[in-house]
């Protein structure tokens, strides 16, 4: 038995992104960056330069995942299909880590979103209200108990003006090391996936007028199917189909990706296992109120394009059916004309049949007469035979007529 050639790759993918073992206190800065057509090798080279500047020791190195750390810092790099993420963690400190300014100036890609996470122990004597006031000010704060009430999170989902990062506060109420790592990673993924999913919203808003225009034109064409010639409608339908196909090609990938990312956001929120705190809005409630309309808008735009495509296909099929019916009618008329001509030819053949019998009878009579003249020397006997031959002319004609009718019987039936 041989091993499957992709077996090792599949196993590596399942274990490619292990959860970190983390404990309070720590400060984490998470960034999501769009590739901007940057090759993966160039991206890995840039990350290698960053690790050298931060003096990190490599712990995990894969083609699309890298992790390294030292006593003060830990760096995690993940390459996804459209973007890559960097997570820099300051261990045993609530001071947010900073990426080197010189590296940020040359870093590949375009910054999309990020989260600053402060993770403290519950036994810290710092006052909760003062902590929230320090980081959120007058903003409305969303909060909940998570992971079966062994952790608590606070966030306002507002990006800071100076960094563009969303601030998230997390408090440990008995989290295990890997459990804390899963919680912080899920918070980062929720922030990342919701922004990547929302990339489809501006596109959806942009194409809605085009969809409305296409729908209006299709309705107008559909009402003209029964009253106008297919030769007039088909070019317009083809033009409409071309524009619709172009619109579908421009949006299908983005809308499909958005649907997948919205699903991931909901899955990660469910994995938080939130418990509501009286007077506070949970992350799930915030997303249902703020993210769900965007989800429905993107989904509706994609569904309208698919429905419009199906309606256009039905209208085009109806016009084609009319064309086929017209062609069948022309074929029927042509066959009727051919049948009529064939009938006329048969009638003409029937008229000429009598002439052919007369001619053949004449030649048969002449041939027999000449034969008798050459074979019978007695003039009296020859006259008697010629007289008999003359009397038999009608019978010869009748035999020839019966023979010709027999030959033409199949033709007449056809």
Q: Which residue has the higher pLDDT, 199 or 373?
A: 199
Measured N-to-C along each axis, helices 379-391 and 292-375 cross at an angle, to the nearest 10 degrees, of 150
For residue 334, is pLDDT > 70?
A: yes
Do 205 and 242 belong to one domain?
yes
Phi, psi for residue 395 in degrees, rounded to 5: -70, -35
The pLDDT, as a whole number, for residue 170 is 95
Dihedral sign for Cα 142, 146, 152, 158, please. Answer: negative
Average pLDDT over residues 225-245: 83
Do 390 and 256 belong to one domain?
no
Domain-ending residue, one of 331, 362, 393: 331
Asked whether residue 1 is domain-assigned, the answer is no
Domain-ending residue, one of 331, 355, 387: 331
Do 123 and 157 belong to one domain?
yes
Tokens of 271: 């994995």
Average pLDDT over residues 236-255: 91
Task: Out of 149-163, 165-179, 353-367, pick the least confident.
Answer: 353-367
Calculate the CA 234 to chain-centre distance. Answer: 26
For residue 158, is pLDDT > 70?
A: yes
Q: Exposure of 76 by Cβ count < 10 A (0-12 exposed, 13-18 middle, 19+ buried)?
A: buried
Do 23 and 122 belong to one domain?
yes
For residue 124, is pLDDT > 70?
A: no
Do 70 and 111 belong to one domain?
yes
DSSP codes joined into one string, 134-186: HHHTTS--EEEEETTTTEEEEEEEEEPTTT-PEEEEEEESS--HHHHHHHHHH
Average pLDDT over residues 2-28: 76
For residue 386, is pLDDT > 90?
A: no
**Tens digits of per-residue pLDDT, 202-211?**
999 999 999 9
For residue 389, is pLDDT > 80?
A: no
Categorise residue 214: left if φ over 0, alpha if ψ from -120 to 50, beta otherwise. alpha
Position 227 confidence tier, pLDDT thresholds 50, 70, 90: confident
DSSP single-letter state for residue 279: T
Count of domains for the chain: 3
Tokens of 324: 């086929």
Pairing of strands 73-79, 57-61: unpaired
Do 220 and 312 belong to one domain?
yes
Do 216 and 124 belong to one domain?
no
Domain-ending residue, one of 306, 331, 356: 331
* Rounded CA separation 28/118 (Å): 6
**Tens digits of per-residue pLDDT, 280-289?**
999 999 999 8
For residue 258, is pLDDT > 80?
A: yes
The pLDDT, as a whole number, for residue 410 is 58
The pLDDT, as a whole number, for residue 299 is 92
* Rounded CA separation 294/307 (Å): 20
The pLDDT, as a whole number, for residue 261 is 94
The pLDDT, as a whole number, for residue 53 is 93
* CATH number, domain with residue 250: 1.20.58
- The H or E element spanning position 60 is strand 57-61
Q: Is 385 helix (H, G, I), strand (E, B) or coil?
A: helix
Those residues with Cβ within 8 angstroms of residue 311's Cβ, 6 or more apart along the chain or in another chain: 218, 222
Asked whether residue 182 is domain-assigned, the answer is no
Tokens of 119: 């993770």
Q: Which residue has the higher pLDDT, 3 or 140?
A: 140
Asked whether residue 276 is domain-assigned, the answer is yes
- Measured between alpha carbons, how far apart are the two ends of the chain, in Å? 69
The pLDDT, as a whole number, for residue 76 is 94
Q: Is 212 helix (H, G, I), strand (E, B) or coil?
A: helix
DSSP single-letter state for residue 74: E
**Tens digits of per-residue pLDDT, 75-95?**
999 998 899 999 999 999 999
The pLDDT, as a whole number, for residue 13 is 61
The answer to whether residues 88 and 28 touch, using CB atoms and an 8 Å cutoff, is yes
**Tens digits of per-residue pLDDT, 341-379?**
877 777 777 666 667 777 777 777 778 777 777 777 677
Do 157 and 115 belong to one domain?
yes
Q: Which residue has the higher pLDDT, 174 or 403?
A: 174
Range of the domain at 389: 343-413
Strand partners, 143: 154
The pLDDT, as a whole number, for residue 28 is 96
DSSP single-letter state for residue 127: -
Do 205 and 281 belong to one domain?
yes
Residue with tokens 């993210």: 291
Cα distances from 256 to residues 101, 252, 357, 369, in angstroms, run 36, 6, 83, 98
Position 409 confidence tier, pLDDT thresholds 50, 70, 90: low
Closest CA to 76 of 129, 9, 31: 31
Task: Out of 42-51, 120-129, 216-225, pick the least confident.
Answer: 120-129
Calculate ∠ Cα 136-131-123, nearest 5°: 145
Asked whether residue 69 is domain-assigned, the answer is yes
Do 151 and 267 belong to one domain?
no
Average pLDDT over residues 136-147: 92
The pLDDT, as a whole number, for residue 12 is 61
């Amino acid at each position: 038995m041989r091993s499957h050639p992709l077996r090792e790759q599949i196993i590596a993918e399942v274990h490619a992104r292990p959860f970190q073992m983390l404990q309070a206190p720590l400060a984490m800065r998470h960034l999501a960056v769009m590739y901007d057509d940057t090759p993966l090798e160039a991206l890995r080279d840039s990350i290698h330069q960053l690790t050298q500047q931060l003096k990190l020791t490599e712990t995990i190195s894969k083609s699309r995942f890298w992790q390294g750390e030292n006593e003060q810092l830990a760096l995690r790099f993940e390459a996804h299909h459209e973007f890559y993420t960097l997570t820099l963690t300051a261990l045993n400190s609530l001071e947010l880590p900073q990426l080197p300014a010189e590296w940020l100036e040359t870093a590949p890609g375009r910054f999309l979103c990020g989260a600053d996470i402060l993770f403290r122990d519950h036994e810290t004597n710092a006052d909760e209200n003062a902590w929230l006031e320090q980081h959120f000010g007058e903003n409305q704060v969303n909060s909940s108990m998570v992971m079966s009430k062994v952790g608590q999170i606070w966030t306002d989902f507002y990006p800071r003006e100076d960094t563009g990062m969303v601030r998230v506060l997390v408090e440990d109420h008995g989290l295990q090391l890997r459990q804390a790592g899963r919680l912080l990673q899920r918070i980062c993924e929720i922030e990342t996936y919701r922004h990547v999913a929302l990339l489809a919203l501006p596109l959806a808003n942009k194409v809605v007028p085009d969809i409305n225009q296409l729908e209006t034109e299709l309705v107008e064409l559909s009402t003209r199917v029964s009253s106008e010639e297919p030769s007039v409608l088909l070019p317009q339908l083809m033009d409409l189909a071309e524009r619709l196909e172009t619109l579908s090609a421009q949006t299908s990938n983005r809308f499909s990706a958005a649907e997948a990312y919205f699903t991931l956001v909901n899955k990660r929120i469910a994995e938080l296992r939130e418990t509501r705190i009286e007077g506070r809005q949970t992350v799930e409630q915030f997303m249902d109120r703020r993210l769900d309309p965007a989800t429905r808008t993107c989904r509706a735009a994609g569904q309208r394009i698919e429905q419009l495509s199906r309606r256009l296909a039905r209208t085009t099929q109806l016009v084609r059916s009319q064309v086929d019916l017209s062609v069948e009618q022309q074929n029927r008329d042509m066959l009727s004309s051919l049948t009529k001509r064939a009938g006329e030819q048969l009638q003409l053949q029937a008229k000429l049949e009598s002439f052919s019998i007369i001619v053949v009878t004449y030649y048969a009579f002449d041939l027999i007469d000449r034969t008798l003249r050459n074979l019978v020397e007695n003039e009296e006997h020859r006259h008697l035979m010629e007289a008999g031959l003359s009397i038999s002319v009608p019978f010869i004609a009748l035999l020839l007529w019966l023979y010709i009718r027999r030959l033409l019987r199949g033709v007449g039936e056809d």
